[in-house]
Amino acid sequence: MGKVYRVYRVDHLTQMKIPVGTVQERRNQERAASNHFSLMKLARKIYGETPEDQLRIVLGEELIA
């Protein structure tokens, strides 16, 4: 089973992270650091409502089940 990462929307005025959902890693092998960026792009595509809002979406820590 893949790893699950929390997705946050950052409020730039208060610098607070607001949890908006999760993204699951579906690959069997570990991602390289450069491929981790593609997982963040997926999270921005799913949870970002506008192009400006997509810039506020960040990938957080791995959740442990």
Q: Within 10 A of 59 (CB to CB), how many other CB atoms are there? A: 18
Phi-psi group of 21: left, alpha or beta (phi > 0 → left; psi -120 to 50 → alpha; rest → beta): left
This prediction has a pTM of: 0.80
pLDDT, tens only, 24-39: 887 777 666 666 788 8
Pairing status of strand 16-24 against strand 57-63: unpaired
46-65 pLDDT, tens digit each: 999 999 999 999 998 888 76
In this structure, what token pair is assigned to residue 12? 């730039």
